[in-house]
Amino acid sequence: MSDMNVTIYDIAKKCHVSIATVSRVLNGNSRVSEKTRRIVLDAIKDMGYTPNPFARGLGLDSMKIVGVLCTSLTDAFFARAVSLIEDGMRQHHFDIMLSCTGPNTGHNSPYITGLVNKHVDGLITVGTVFSSEPDIAALTAAAGKIPVLTINCDYHQPGIYSIVCNEAEGMRRLVHTLARQHCRHIAYLYDVRTYSGRHKLQGLRQGLKELGIKENPALIQQVSLNLEGAEKAIENLVSRNVPFDAIVTSEDILAVGAQRAALENGRYVPVIGWNNSILATCATPTLSSIDNRLDSLCASAVQSMTQLLSGQDQPVPVRTEFSAILVERESFQTKKE
């Protein structure tokens, strides 16, 4: 009922027991007589007592918080990831401390150390948050103290658990699928050379190679991550008379722009985006997209993290891999006017 920071001592005094007993009923590990347990429990409810988390943290060296690092929540993909992680960890009674680094400048180690210095219980990174040597070193150092777990990035560092989607393989298969539709001149628009970006490109080249198709550098373009970037790139191809019979992009947003530009120029080719986000369904025609299994990645991350933090050292896989899948929509079929 009352307020003003009631402590375990207040409860103890009111119940005529020691703080040890109160602590015992709270943490329920040791035996307490049913009678005193009831008394204490009632007093706790009466006085509105809640344990001070700092004092608790000081003793246990844990406040049941895991840090989540990503570049930006403005990207729907990362936002969804954080949302899934937050929800999952919460079900295991962990809170989330969020840290968005902004564009990966190569000087993001302060974000790591910031969280580590706050003594979070674990760290989950989403996407390519770190790429420079010192940043990765900082992450490795963090892994020496607490569980560190990365989603969609593979640092190959000791102690860092990685959970990835095999996007290279997804791209390779996509290239083969397109080839069966007689598409051999695939335009590929990508935004930036992240871990994920590198692998997509690698998969593309692998696929082309297997099919005996010579890579045309003009078809592979790095563009800025917005509609205009993709539009310009496609218009550029058209104006330069570079032939293309399919478009693949590293992000759905680029597919939206690319498809728009292609249609405006009378090019009715399949367009395939990436991430299978809401944008893919918002475009007209609706866009096919590669689903990189974010839900599975996050669920796996949550499970691994909780196991690592559970104390009981059940074995946790150092690397977990999922397969990308193609989600076909209207934009997949070759269109005629």
Reference 128, options 197, 205, 66; nearest CA is 197
Is the CB of 128 or the CB of 320 nearer to its own copies?
128
Cα distance between residue 311 and residue 121, in whole Å: 12
Is the CB of 64 or the CB of 198 nearer to its own copies?
64
Is the CB of 168 or the CB of 287 nearer to its own copies?
287
Rule CB under 8 A: is residue 227 a binding residue for its own copies? yes
DSSP string, 298-335: HHHHHHHHHHHHSSS-----SEEEEE-EEE--GGGSPP
Contact of 104 with 128, CB cutoff 8 Å: yes
Rule CB under 8 A: is residue 119 a binding residue for its own copies? yes
Stretch that binds DNA, among 33-41, 80-88, 193-201, 261-269 (CB under 7 A): 33-41
Rule CB under 7 A: is residue 120 a binding residue for DNA? no
Rule CB under 7 A: is residue 180 a binding residue for DNA? no
Q: Which of 73, 192, 211, 316 binds its own copies (CB under 8 A)?
A: 73
Cα distance between residue 149 and residue 311, in whole Å: 16
Rule CB under 8 A: is residue 292 a binding residue for its own copies? no
CB of 233 to its own copies, least distance (A): 17
Q: Which amino acid is at 132?
A: S
Contact of 225 with 253, CB cutoff 8 Å: yes
Rule CB under 7 A: is residue 26 a binding residue for DNA? yes
Strands (E), the chain: 65-70, 95-100, 122-126, 148-151, 160-166, 186-190, 220-222, 246-249, 271-274, 288-291, 319-323, 325-327
Which residues in this chain contact its own copies in the complex, by CB under 8 A?
3, 50, 52-55, 57-58, 61, 63, 65, 68, 72-74, 76, 79-80, 82-83, 86-87, 90, 95-100, 102, 114, 117-119, 144, 227, 253, 256, 260, 278-279, 281-284
